[in-house]
């Protein structure tokens, strides 16, 4: 199957101007100057993209794809994520996880949902574990899960500084992090430790202690929700200054909204290469609400519309930056020859028009195909 996208403004995420993009099955085969291709007899589908922009599909590294447990008992259980919600947020790759509820939600169900979404056209990964330590696993250890289970790329979301956590000790965290690290090395995967950071007194204190008392690489850790309150955010700024990854939660209204948080980081002269945003989609919010994946895309566009970031820089935070942390770059997170054909196509006002997942057209004219 050969598909030609003609005359489209390409952001890789850096802007490279107007190009013709040739998709061969699931890969980007060529990106050419407009009009260079003269022979069209072998092309199966030609799409005119005048006035449109192409970005890499978004990568969301924190998604409750089978829903969260809810904190108001059984009536507040959150449903599984819907395929359409993922696509209409421009997301083509995601990482599924468990949160506080590892009793009524299981890794087996998480794995099954990840496989289901993959069949539908979304690239999926998952973390072993949940809020609590000892971590729940599929094979008996975090390392074995990462090495032997195709979807598993790390441990998460492990809760620290939160009344809902298991209040892990430094010994607990060092053991889990070491298993995750060796699993990543032997399995050829990211081996990340994705950390839920709550509103507790210690903030990033335990993470800083881990780095002080071990030789584990700082790049292995991804603390998330770090814009949930000003005190934690200030800790995260210093952590980022040291070279650590930090992950903002989209749609934040109680803490620091993403566009404001990014502006504050820029004002302090910080490089954004270690900064990412995730949605926490279909997770439960303590006040009874539900996180939505659409907030991820909304925050990216708000960063552009509020003149916080240029389009290429705003999209880099949710594409290339995430792909590098998860060690799936340049397969994901970029538009270049040989990369997966995960392509988000918008109009000049960033309204989603088309989405390609692994070369398959999944959204056309702003509508999910088959819906």
One digit per residue, the tens of pLDDT, for the chain of length 371 reads 899 999 999 999 999 999 999 999 999 999 999 999 888 888 999 999 999 999 999 999 999 999 987 676 777 788 899 999 999 999 999 999 999 988 889 999 999 999 999 999 999 999 999 999 999 999 999 999 999 999 999 999 999 999 999 999 999 999 999 999 999 999 999 999 999 999 999 999 999 999 999 999 999 999 999 999 999 999 999 999 999 999 999 999 899 999 999 999 999 999 999 999 999 999 877 666 778 999 999 999 999 999 999 999 999 999 999 999 999 999 999 999 999 999 999 999 999 999 999 999 999 999 999 76
Instruction: Tell whether 48 and 62 lie within a shared domain.
Output: no
Return the half-sphere exposure (C-beta side, CA atoms, 13 A cut-off) of residue 39.
2
Instruction: Tell whether 19 and 125 lie within a shared domain.
Output: no
Instruction: Tell whether 43 and 148 lie within a shared domain.
Output: no
Instruction: Tell whether 37 and 71 lie within a shared domain.
Output: no
pLDDT at 288: 61
What is the number of domains present in the chain? 2
Q: What is the total residue count of the chain? A: 371
Instruction: Tell whether 223 and 357 lie within a shared domain.
Output: no
Question: Which domain does 39 fall in, by range?
Answer: 2-55+334-368
pLDDT at 104: 87
Residue 243 belongs to domain with CATH number: 3.20.20.140
Among 93, 66, 87, CA closest to 327: 93
pLDDT (tens digit per residue) in 50-81: 999 999 999 999 999 999 876 767 777 888 99
Residue 33 belongs to domain with CATH number: 2.30.40.10
pLDDT at 287: 65
For every residue of 169-203, DSSP letters joined together read: -HHHHHHHHHHHHHHHHHHTS--EEEEEE-SSTTT
What is the sign of the dihedral through the CA atoms of 187, 135, 226 and 294?
positive
Among 10, 5, 28, CA closest to 330: 28
Long-range pairs of 207-216 with CB within 8 A, sequence gap ≥ 24: 207/160, 207/239, 208/239, 209/170, 210/170, 210/173, 210/174, 210/177, 213/170, 213/174, 214/174, 214/177, 214/178, 216/174, 216/177, 216/178, 216/181
Instruction: Tell whether 120 and 51 lie within a shared domain.
Output: no
Instruction: Tell whether 122 and 266 lie within a shared domain.
Output: yes
Q: How many Å is the maximal CA-CA distance in the chain?
A: 65
Helix intervals (H) in 193-310:
205-213, 230-241, 258-267, 294-305
Instruction: Tell whether 297 and 357 lie within a shared domain.
Output: no
Instruction: Tell whether 6 and 97 lie within a shared domain.
Output: no
Helix intervals (H) in 268-325:
294-305, 311-317, 320-325
Q: Annotated active-site positions, please?
A: 280
Dig out the tokens for 251 from the structure.
Answer: 């749609």
Name 289's Cβ contacts closer than 8 Å, sequence gap at least 6: none
Instruction: Tell whether 74 and 35 lie within a shared domain.
Output: no
- Residues 61, 195 contacting (CB under 8 angstroms): no
CA–chain centroid gap for 331, Å, is 14
Instruction: Tell whether 138 and 28 lie within a shared domain.
Output: no
Instruction: Tell whether 120 and 261 lie within a shared domain.
Output: yes
């Amino acid at each position: 199957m050969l598909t030609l996208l003609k005359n489209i403004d390409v952001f890789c995420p850096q802007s490279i101007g107007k190009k013709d993009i040739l998709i061969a099955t699931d890969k980007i085969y060529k990106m050419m100057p407009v009009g260079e291709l003269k022979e069209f007899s072998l092309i199966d589908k030609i799409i005119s993209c005048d006035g449109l922009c192409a970005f890499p599909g978004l990568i969301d590294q924190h998604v409750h794809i089978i829903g969260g447990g809810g904190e108001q008992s059984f009536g507040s259980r959150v449903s599984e994520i819907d395929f359409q919600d993922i696509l209409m947020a421009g997301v083509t790759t995601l990482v599924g996880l468990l949160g506080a509820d590892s009793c009524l939600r299981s890794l087996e169900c998480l794995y099954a949902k990840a496989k289901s979404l993959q069949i539908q056209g979304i690239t999926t990964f998952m973390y072993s574990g949940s809020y609590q330590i000892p971590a729940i696993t599929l094979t008996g250890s975090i390392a074995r899960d990462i090495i032997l289970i195709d979807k598993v790329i790390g441990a998460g979301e492990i809760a620290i500084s939160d009344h809902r956590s298991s209040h892990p000790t430094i010994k607990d965290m060092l053991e889990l992090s070491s298993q995750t690290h060796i699993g990543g090395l032997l399995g050829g995967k990211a081996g990340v430790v994705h950390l839920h950071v709550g509103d507790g007194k210690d903030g990033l204190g335990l993470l800083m202690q881990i780095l002080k008392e071990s030789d584990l690489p700082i790049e292995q850790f991804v603390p998330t929700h770090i814009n949930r309150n000003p005190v934690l955010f200030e800790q995260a700024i210093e952590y980022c200054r040291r070279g650590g990854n930090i992950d903002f939660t989209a749609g934040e209204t109680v803490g620091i909204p993403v566009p404001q948080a990014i502006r504050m980081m820029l004002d302090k002269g910080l490089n954004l290469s270690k900064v990412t945003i995730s949605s926490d989609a279909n997770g439960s919010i303590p006040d009874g609400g539900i996180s939505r994946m659409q907030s991820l895309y909304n925050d990216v566009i708000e960063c552009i519309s509020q003149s916080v970031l240029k389009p290429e820089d705003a999209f880099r935070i949710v594409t290339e930056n995430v792909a590098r942390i998860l060690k799936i770059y340049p397969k994901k997170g970029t538009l270049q020859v040989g990369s997966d054909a995960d392509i988000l196509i918008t109009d000049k006002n960033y309204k989603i028009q088309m989405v390609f997942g692994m070369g398959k057209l999944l959204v056309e004219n702003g509508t999910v195909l088959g819906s």
